[in-house]
Structure 1
């Protein structure tokens, strides 16, 4: 059933009081946003939405700015009863309008969202690989490691932010701080000289333990981070992996991870993502790029 929406209603900037409604909207389309995830999104960016006459949120979209040069769009949801009326497109445009006109805008698209994004000028530039695991099988022994993996300390943050900048292409200090606060576990990788050369986070969601960001100098160190984050978790795991990490993905498949989809990365106002140094092995989540 399609319900006609009052197009004269204004787009709202959603606040913390709207989180239960956003969770309900997310659940209606089979997505698993929870309170902690939405709080991190709101602390790192903005969430826009439409409400019906009863005050129920029927559509949403979020934008996460990373400085003035890049922003990521996600959480573009329209309740099935309100589809076909342009709500998702209008909210995505509100996200675009909220950042610098010169900023590159990236998003990781659902298959059904691709035509809308293409109509708005987004172009395919790359993809990520979504992997799930129901029963993790450890394959790494601690005495095989040439690096040391330790809990992240507060004083490690500047080095972690620098590593993330080089891996992702732009600085994300505000988001990284918020994500660490949300994390179940935050780890750093140190080389034999004691220098931090990588980091990894795990986020406990309502369905999966999300692994990411994962930043490491090589796939061996990335695999060691995954093992430390996953080995004591009793439940489902998820990681989204940028392209170009075939050896890492091969290792994960030996640990019982299964590739379930390959969603496209689309970008507007640029042909390419910012330059990266090939140390990003797992993204934070699709909404964060």
Structure 2
């Protein structure tokens, strides 16, 4: 996979109703490694990528096969190449309903449901105050907080996301305890990652973004089950649209500290 493939990759993702723009594909290719499957006249009918988080962990994503070839082994062919390249790392992915059986057959184990929450913002429910705008001096603490919540450092991913995002942080006693980033993605904007110590802080980190974008399309991918944060998003019009299953092939590193990830960068990048 190379940047020259982006126009045809975009066509492929549109064909399966994925919202990714050409710019979203460009970010993915800049951060990861991938394979494409072509037919005899050069059309791309399959893709698969992996993203190095560290020497020990990789995230797999952007796995797409043309509907007419989903039952003919194209997805397995692509996944075998990705698994060969990532041998020796712990592998994690978010499985769509269409690909779930393939991943189970390859040995992946289900960890948690990820809700794709999206929609046009219709309201901004009350939310706790306390978040402030991100400043350049916050960067080191944000990177460490993301590492602690994920259990693994992903500096290249975070650098790319920070470069194109607005950010909010919660600071207590001179220490950053939570942050959220928002950027253009798909049909509108995505809020993610969101890292916080509790649901109230997660709402405080999303509320100002939601209030500023009433009438616009926002998305949050969250592993949080039904609860106050989930209900807050739905009350704003960001509803439970679809879901994927977080899966891993090996044991993943455990998070460190009190903060946890309330919102993903996206499904490919975790």
TM, length-normalised to structure 1: 0.86
Aligned to 2:202: 222
Where 1:229 maps in the other structure, the secondary structure is helix
CA distance in 1, matches of 2:244, 2:144: 28
1:102 and 2:84 are equivalent in the alignment: no
Say if 2:145 and 2:259, in contact at 8 Å, map to a contact too.
Answer: no
1:1-289 residue pairs with structure 2 within 5 A?
A: 14-99=1-86, 101-140=87-126, 145=129, 147-153=130-136, 155-183=137-165, 185-191=166-172, 193-233=173-213, 234-243=215-224, 246-270=227-251, 273-276=252-255, 277-289=258-270
Say if 1:215 and 1:280, in contact at 8 Å, map to a contact too.
Answer: yes
Q: Report the CA distance between 1:211 and its aligned residue.
A: 1.1
Number of residues paired by the alignment? 267
Query: RMSD value over aligned CA atoms?
Result: 1.9
Q: Report the CA distance between 1:225 and its aligned residue.
A: 1.4
Where 1:274 maps in the other structure, the secondary structure is coil
Where 2:254 maps in the other structure, the secondary structure is coil
User: Once structures 1 and 2 are overlaid, which stretch shifts more, 223-232 or 20-29?
Assistant: 223-232
Tell me which structure has the larger Cα radius of gyration.
1
Unaligned runs of 5+ in 2: none
CA distance in 2, matches of 1:18, 1:182: 22
Q: Report the CA distance between 1:244 and its aligned residue.
A: 5.1
TM, length-normalised to structure 2: 0.91
CA distance in 2, matches of 1:95, 1:246: 36
Q: Report the CA distance between 1:251 and its aligned residue.
A: 2.3
Deviations 1:45-66 (A, max 9, x none): 1121111222221100111111
Superposed structure 1 runs of 4+ greater than 6 Å apart? none
Aligned to 1:9: none
